[in-house]
Structure 1
């Protein structure tokens, strides 16, 4: 653990970074996306997931290229280096609005699921409020705490996925996949459109995490991200295959949370039943990870734009914006599906691919590189003796780049 972990600055490993990417992708998409893709591509929905596989990593290449040029800076910081201070701040403001909206959407996903499937009599405002308290606490503790939580959820998530798929083998019907490619590749390609915006276009959050990877671990980062992207594809294809094979296209397309409903079919000799609660627990955990990362990135972006010395003071005020906003982003689950399958892909890819790609092109043309540090000023823990405080003060005075950055 880094010396100032949980106070202001922190570090994570390349493995933790890759697991954060996996959990972010699994997040709200695991329960909602297969239903949307199946409604478009029908029995060939798994092909849409497979076609999306290369894009899981290809879109990260742009972020990695930017990270090579600015290894210790976040998106907001190197935007100012490339575009100039004011144009860079305006550029970063677009991402503040993007992650603010994304945070509200993710929070609304969890309240919709809980109110429709688990706690139908509980008010949505209570679900959102209590869930947000835990998220804000996680964001306040810092990225190391979030990453360590992710390591735990990563193992349990894979375990539950394996248990569910193995338990449903006896109900799998290959006839549900007929006729294969009835309309050629047209339907699977149409299904790919939704996946590109949700969650692939949202991977831009990782640009705020790359500078936090330990310097000695950065050589392993590309390999770790490749493995994570491959695992995202495998899990997505597996979930969609079992969804169609067990429930069929019609039932899978109608259910708002088809994966949760699929788990209700597990019944092994009246012993292994009601396994869907495990799916709910893992999904709630991955949604927590996605929302915590969104709010973390949102607060850090804002702190860097305003040149604040820490991001932590912004966590609670943003909670009072995100919770009310989650009630008005869309009217109901049906409206959310139309929004996700139409508008969101364009909006997400604009921020998640087009803008970073243009920034990379400008950086290459202008030959911009910067190896300077962009960390927040260190905060001295309580109880540190005066000698340690003087040493830290001297280190800050000698540091050439004092601009605030990641935690």
Structure 2
């Protein structure tokens, strides 16, 4: 375990950047058309429920990360197998995000650049951040966050100054009923991005103020959900639900339409910079969580610097091999929640909580029985 400490405000900032990260790039809940905001709202509420499971497990083992308390709950063999599965999951998700941002840069600015070169350059900067340590990553996020929010606010402001939003694009509400909303919310948006917060169970033991850190985590989820609702609503109101659904990067198309006289136009570069900041921290958190989780599992913190380039190389390899083109990559993203996210973000954490509760009740009964027997032995006989 690294010895750096994590401030509650830093956890808040990291979770917000993590949640926004790649979510605004691909768009959330757009299958529900103009009801996408409802999808995000329901998913945020469900995400808070999932986060409560992760927090409960952390509070039972405040000094242990995910890969360590699994052994305490289900035993050494099964616990280590699950730990390895979660480490591989973190690397896989990082690879998917890296591929998404590689596709984004190829589509918008680096038209003739091989995607492998783009992803290697990105991973080099991410590896550098991981080498510096988690405390540096958290402090950097704290510095970048105000600028991230400031330019995000400018995007919203310029959209309205350009008179782009159209209220009719958001109507009618629940045109096809609740079915499309619920179908889009579960499991896709619930797991991505809200269920992905399970990665922070690796870093919770670093919190220097447990109670404040937990509160900061919940506030970050609510804040992120509200931001995602606002951005998604603006996207649909500007380009319409049909275009938003068909566009690979709906946010970039929305930003491209901003034009205030002859002064502010073609703001795509600013949009890309903001997206890259969010994506950088999301991939960094997943990579560092995999490295830290593995070192905790084998109890060798000195191996971190050797594992960073190896795991980074595996992320690059997976991101290149997972799909032949952007269409195949997006199709794969629609399947992943059912295969990986439901069992690993929802089912297993829920079962772990149930096991912990049952074990606590059994232990409590044994202690009560033991104290009763002890009192009977000490009680004087008449």
Same structural fold, with TM-score higher than 0.5 when normalized by the shorter chain: yes
Describe the SS at the equivalent of 2:227. Answer: helix
Q: Note the residue ranges of structure 2 that are not aligned, 5 or more in a row.
A: 362-382
Normalising to structure 2: TM-score of the pair?
Answer: 0.90
| Kept in 1: contact 2:47–2:195 (CA 8 A) | no
> 1: CA distance between counterparts of 2:359 and 2:205?
22
2:4 is the counterpart of 1:10: yes
Aligned counterparts, 1:366-381, within 5 A: 366-367=359-360
Unmatched 5+ stretches in structure 1: 1-6, 369-407
Q: Quick one: distance in 2 between partners of 1:220 and 1:286? A: 24
User: Matched residues in 2 for 1:33 and 1:340: separation?
Assistant: 12
- 1:358-387 deviations in Å (ceiling 9; x for gaps): 12222222239xxxxxxxxxxxxxxxxxxx
2:308 — aligned with what? Answer: 315
Distance 1:57 1:24 in 2: 15
Secondary structure of the residue that 1:367 maps to in structure 2?
helix
For 1:234, the equivalent position in structure 2 comes to 226
Cα deviation code 1:332-367 (max 9, x no counterpart): 222232222233244113212221221222222223
Q: Which of the residues 140, 151, 157 maps onto 1:160?
A: 151
In the alignment, structure 1 residue 352 sits paired with structure 2 residue 345: yes
Tell me the CA shift for residue 330 of structure 1: 2.1
- Report whether the alignment pairs 1:33 with 2:32: no
Hey, what does 2:111 align to over in structure 1?
A: 120
Q: Give 1:33 deviation, angstroms.
A: 2.5
Q: Which residue of 2 aligns with 1:81?
A: 72
Structure 1, 73-82 or 356-365: larger mean CA deviation? 356-365
SS at match of 2:177: coil
Aligned with residue 94 of structure 1, among 85, 99, 102? 85
User: Which residue does 1:210 correspond to in 2?
Assistant: 204
What is aligned with 1:266?
A: 258
RMSD (CA atoms): 1.8
Confirm whether residue 245 of structure 1 aligns to residue 204 of structure 2. Answer: no
* 2:128 equivalent in structure 1: 137
2:272 aligned residue: 280
SS at match of 1:20: helix
Taking the aligned partners of 1:229 and 1:106, their CA distance within structure 2 comes to: 20
2:355 is aligned to 362
Q: Distance in 2 between matches of 1:107 and 1:47?
A: 28
For residues 77-127 of structure 1, the C-alpha deviation after alignment (integer angstroms, 9 at most, x for no partner) is 111122222221111011022112112111111111111111011111111
The answer to which of 174-183 and 142-151 deviates more is 174-183
Contact 1:10 1:212 in 2 (8 A): yes
1:182 aligns with 175
Deviation of 1:8 after TM superposition, in Å, equals: 4.3
Structure having the larger proportion of residues in helix? 2
Whether the 8 Å CA contact 2:10–2:139 is kept in 1: the answer is yes
Tell me, in whole angstroms, the C-alpha distance in 2 between the residues paired with 1:278 and 1:253. Answer: 23
SS in 1 for 2:259: coil
Residues 1:51 and 2:42 aligned together: yes
CA displacement, residues 48-79 of structure 1 (integer Å, 9 cap, x when unaligned): 11222212322111111111111111011111
Please tell me whether the aligned partners of residues 17 and 209 of structure 1 are also in contact (alpha carbons under 8 angstroms): no
TM-score, with structure 1 as normaliser: 0.84
Report the Cα distance in structure 1 between the residues aligned to 2:307 and 2:318, rounded to whole angstroms. 17
Aligned counterparts of 2:288 and 2:81: Cα–Cα separation in 1: 19
- Quote the offset at 1:250 in angstroms: 1.8
How many positions carry a matched residue from both structures? 358
Per the TM alignment, residue 288 of structure 1 is displaced from its structure 2 partner at its CA by 0.5
Q: In the alignment, is residue 257 of structure 1 matched against residue 249 of structure 2?
A: yes
